[in-house]
Structure 1
Amino acid sequence: MDKVAEILAEASAEAVEPRFRALAAGEVMEKAPGEIVTVADREAEVIITRRLRELLPVPVVGEEAVAADPELALAIRDEPAVWLVDPVDGTSNFVAGRPDYAVMCSLVRTGRTVASWIWQPSTATAYRAELGAGAWRDGVRLTRPPAPADPAELSGILKSRFLDPDHRRRLEANRSAFGATSPGRSAAGVEYPDVAEGRCDFILYWRTLPWDHAPGSLLVTEAGGVSARFDGTPYRPEAPGCEDGLLVAADPHTWELTRGILLGA
């Protein structure tokens, strides 16, 4: 667990942090319509990939590698173990000079996330989680504090950009039942820790790219929360395009309450 945390922090120090608010012309590119990538993303992923393979020689499914060759993502389904890597989560924030970005990694065995790591460079904060063993921030065990019982006192993040029209309609009609909602911080590696530590009570996502959601989902569930598909099925990482829709919450009661209000379920 400690070695992977070191790999992320060292790759960040080498390839990511020196470019924060210092990206040169030509170091930001569009990899797909509306999706940007930087030299920091690509260089950090190369470093992390090489060092993870030295640690455990299984396939590495990195966000940027999959952008170049989508077939790589099928290893999540086909291989007994894979690493998932998001070299710069929150790239739009990174490019804009906002501090909400993270470097993330997960280990997946037989389709289930068994360990995860999140490094937040701007605050030098390290999160990690291990299946059945707990969640930590900088070596301190995390236990999610109780969420308010009254939905009018709950705070949450609602990601509506990729929602289908029916879910968007229901979400917009029912969001006023909560105390406060926001579009989030454009970085799963910041938003999931907010739930795990009690700064936010729930998040509704639609698009669930595995490198974005495997690390934080394990962190939240090991801290006592819930990360599940809209039908209640616990989250499992899937190749892009396989399954969407995810509700994350502080505890089982908050998850059921939030789903009932937002989705009418």
Structure 2
Amino acid sequence: MEKVAEILAEAASEVVLPRFKALAAGEVMEKAPGEVVTVADREAEVIIARRLRELLPVPVVGEEAVAADPELANALLSEPAVWLVDPVDGTWNFVAGRPDFAVMASLVRSGQTVASWIWQPVPGTAYTAELGSGAWRDGERLSRTPASDSPGDWRGVLKRRFVAPDDHGRLSANATVFGEVTDGRHAAGVEYPRIAGGEQEFILYSRTLPWDHAPGSLLVSEAGGVSARLDGSPYRPDPPGGEDGLLVACDPDTWERTRAILLGLPA
């Protein structure tokens, strides 16, 4: 666990942080409509992938490698063990000079996330989780307390960018019963730790790319929360194009009640 955390922090120090608020012209590219990538993303992924393979020689499914060759993601279904890597989660924030970005990795065995790492270079905070062994922030164990009984006290995030217009309106209307609902920090590596650390109660995601959600889902689950599809099935990291929609909450009761409220189901 400690070695992977070191790999992420070292890669960030070598090629990510030196470019924070210092990206040169030509170092930011559009890889798909509305999606950007930087030289920091690409260089960090190469470094992390090489060092992870030295640690455990299994396939590496990295966000930028999959952007170049989508077939690589099928290793999540066909291989007994796979590394997942997101070299810069929250690239838009990174490009804009905002500190809400992270470097993340997960180890997936037989389709289940068994370990995860989130390194937030600014402010220099490490989150780790191991299946059945707990969740940690800078070596301190995280154990999330349940939410209050009143949804009016709950703080949540709705990710509505990829939601159909009709569903967008319905979700927004139903969410008015909560105390606070925002669009989030635009980085899963920042948003999931806020659930595990007690700063908010739920997040509803629409699109669920595996490198974005495997690390945080395990972190929240090991801290006592829930990360599950809207039908109640536990989150598993699937290749892009698979099932979408994911509700994350700080405890099982809050997950059930949030789902009922957002979907307009009987209480």
- Give the alignment's TM-score, normalised by structure 1: 0.99
- 1:229 matched residue in structure 2: 229
Matching residue of 1:247? 247
Give per-residue Cα distances to partners, 1:164-211, cap 9 Å, x unaligned: 234323202201010000000000000000000110100000000000
Q: Which residue of 1 aligns with 2:97?
A: 97
Q: 1:93–1:99: 8 Å Cα contact kept in structure 2?
A: yes
In structure 2, how many angstroms separate the alpha carbons of the residues matched to 1:145 and 1:197?
Answer: 9
1:34-59 deviations in Å (ceiling 9; x for gaps): 10000000000000000000000000
SS of structure 1 residue aligned to 2:211: helix
SS in 1 for 2:30: strand
Q: Confirm whether residue 56 of structure 1 aligns to residue 56 of structure 2.
A: yes
2:163 matched to which residue of 1?
163
2:2 match? 2
1:71-110 → structure 2 map (5 Å cutoff): 71-110=71-110
Supply the distance in 1 between the matched residues of 2:114 and 2:224 (Cα, whole angstroms): 16
Question: How far off is 1:148 after superposition?
Answer: 1.4
User: 1:190, 1:129 → 2: CA distance?
Assistant: 15
Distance 2:92 2:170 in 1: 28
Structure 2 residue aligned with 1:27: 27
Question: Structure 1: any 5+ residue segments left out of the alignment?
Answer: none
Please name the residue that 2:198 is paired with: 198
Structure-2 separation of matches of 1:37 and 1:243: 24
Q: Distance in 2 between matches of 1:167 and 1:192?
A: 23
Matched residues in 2 for 1:166 and 1:86: separation?
32
Give the Cα separation in 2 of the matches to 1:26 and 1:45: 19
User: Kindly, what percent of the aligned residue pairs are identical?
Assistant: 75
TM-score by length of 2: 0.98
**Preserved contact between residue 58 and residue 83 of structure 1 (Cα < 8 Å):** yes
Displacement over 2 Å in runs of 4+: 164-167
Instruction: Measure how far apart 1:226 and its partner are.
Output: 0.2
Partners of 1:71 and 1:54 in 2: CA distance: 23
CA contact (8 A) 1:167 1:263 kept: no
3-state SS of 2:181 partner: strand
Partner of 2:132: 132
State the partner residue of 2:16: 16
Once the 2 structures are TM-superposed, how far is the Cα of residue 264 of structure 1 from its aligned partner? 2.0
Q: Name the aligned partner's letter for residue 22 of structure 2.
A: A
- Structure 2 CA distance, aligned partners of 1:243 and 1:200? 25
Per-residue CA deviation, residues 131-182 of structure 1 (Å, 9 max, x unaligned), is 0000000000000122111001101000011012343232022010100000
Question: Structure 2 stretches of 5 or more lacking a match?
Answer: none
Work out the number of aligned pairs and report it: 265
